[in-house]
Amino acid sequence: MRSSISNSKFNRIRNALIVFGITFAICAVMGLAFQQRHPSEAWKGTLPAVDPNDNYLVMEAYNDQAFDLYQLYYGIGDSIQAAQKADVLILGNSKPFFAFRNEAVKAFTQKTGIRVFNLAGSYGDNLALAKAFIHQYHLSPKILVINENHFFSTALSPYGKETIEMGYWQALVKTMEHHLSWFIRFHLHQVFPRFALGKIYGSTPVVEYRSTRTGCLALENFMQDYAESLVPVAHQRVTEETLTPTELKIALEFKKEMAAQGTQIILTSVPYGTDDMDHLDQWVRDPERRILVAKAEEPYEKVDVTAKTLALPLITVDSTGMVTFDGRHLDEASALRFTHLFFDKFLKSSEAELLLKAKP
């Protein structure tokens, strides 16, 4: 009797496992067939090819984790070494992060031998985080290129704050988690495609490749989604607006500190979007973008006045025809053009001449 009960239990478990296996196998086969027929509706772990001679940190957008900051701040990977060796460091918020593209920066380095590293992050951080990096790793480049867009502030973004507070162990765990997750998902989806069904951001993960050698954005797969609603950069306008007394004090102190370590500061201004009413009309249907437009609060040219006040050299470029993909950040073509134009002007500056002379 006892034996027949355990046999029946065993049979039920066996049957359940068989049903499980068959169902799962059918799902897998049907999923692959669906992917073959509708590749745009199912992602098979493929991403655009990148230059294999560079190293990248792949960051997934919309996941609320600033892996690039974690790696840089805690010296995980080789990014911070590249920043330490750089002759020119770029600082600022997301605008220079999107504006200085890897391809153009690498071309400049190959041509001149001047090593550039983009330390700007895409999370709205400015001086406070930049100083934390500089002090943590004793960064002393010959030249600092600062994008003046509320740069001289002591505020940290939530990501910057989290990065500084989390500690090495947490940063390491999060970074490892991220890398492992990418690795596993990349391979998993070769067999089990990721479906777009019901997904607000589609089946393909939105990613940014950030070069660990230049710190610049090398590749992303989301700007094309905005191609139909690009926003031109703001028109040149003269404004009296400049730094607040507190910002001025912070800026002068920072300038003095950098001068003491032999670092020359150059200001720049990455062009960005406009709250022009014609575009507002185009965007009004998408509330998220509408909010972005409403936030385009001031023309970027205030940096002219700021540079004079701080007695710092300024490099700006002709932004005619440049566009932003979201009202705030340059799209790929404009960013490449900006980077080329910026370094062309930079090479003509006295600071660059000194730098080139010092090179063997």
Asked if residue 295 binds another protein (CB under 8 A), the reply is: no
| Residue 212 CA to its chain's centroid (Å) | 12
Shortest CB 34 distance to another protein, Å: 10
Which residues, in sequence order, are CB contacts of 239 under 8 Å at separation 6+? 298, 299, 301, 302, 305
Shortest CB 151 distance to another protein, Å: 25
Asked if residue 168 binds another protein (CB under 8 A), the reply is: no
With CB under 8 A as the contact rule, the residue among 36, 113, 155, 177 that binds another protein is 177
Instruction: CB nearer to another protein: give 229 or 349.
Output: 229
Shortest CB 61 distance to another protein, Å: 9
Asked if residue 158 binds another protein (CB under 8 A), the reply is: no
Let me know the angle formed at the C-alpha of 8 by 6 and 10, rounded to the nearest 5 degrees. Answer: 65
With CB under 8 A as the contact rule, the residue among 7, 8, 20, 225 that binds another protein is 20
In the region spanning residues 215 to 244, those forming contacts with another protein, defined by CB under 8 A, are none
In the region spanning residues 29 to 48, those forming contacts with another protein, defined by CB under 8 A, are 31, 42
Asked if residue 288 binds another protein (CB under 8 A), the reply is: yes
Asked if residue 285 binds another protein (CB under 8 A), the reply is: yes
With CB under 8 A as the contact rule, the residue among 85, 135, 187, 201 that binds another protein is 201
Shortest CB 20 distance to another protein, Å: 4
Asked if residue 192 binds another protein (CB under 8 A), the reply is: yes
Shortest CB 27 distance to another protein, Å: 4
Strand order in the sheet with 56-60: 56-60, 207-211, 217-220
> Cα separation of 294 and 281, whole Å?
12
> Cα separation of 224 and 206, whole Å?
11
Asked if residue 24 binds another protein (CB under 8 A), the reply is: yes
With CB under 8 A as the contact rule, the residue among 7, 8, 16, 318 that binds another protein is 16
C-alpha distances in Å from residue 215, one per residue of 212, 333, 350: 5, 19, 25
Instruction: CB nearer to another protein: give 39 or 113.
Output: 39
Length of the chain measured in residues:
360
Instruction: CB nearer to another protein: give 294 or 354.
Output: 294
Asked if residue 188 binds another protein (CB under 8 A), the reply is: yes
Instruction: CB nearer to another protein: give 240 or 288.
Output: 288
Q: CB–CB of 47/221 below 8 Å?
A: yes
Which residues, in sequence order, are CB contacts of 275 under 8 Å at separation 6+? 293, 294, 296, 297
| Residue 327 CA to its chain's centroid (Å) | 16
Name residue 133's amino acid: F
From 22-30, 48-56, 78-86, 98-106, give the range in contact with another protein by CB under 8 A. Answer: 22-30
Shortest CB 341 distance to another protein, Å: 36
The label of the residue with tokens 């027949």 reads 4
Name residue 183's amino acid: F
Asked if residue 289 binds another protein (CB under 8 A), the reply is: no
Render 312-338 in DSSP notation, one character per residue.
Answer: --EE----TT-EESSSSSB-HHHHHHH
With CB under 8 A as the contact rule, the residue among 62, 239, 257, 348 that binds another protein is 62
Q: CB–CB of 253/246 below 8 Å?
A: no
As given in the structure block, the two tokens for residue 331 are 């799209």
Q: CB–CB of 192/292 below 8 Å?
A: no
Asked if residue 259 binds another protein (CB under 8 A), the reply is: no
Q: Which residues bind another protein (CB under 8 A)?
A: 9, 12-13, 15-24, 27-28, 31, 42, 62-63, 173, 176-177, 180-181, 184, 188, 192-195, 197-201, 285, 287-288
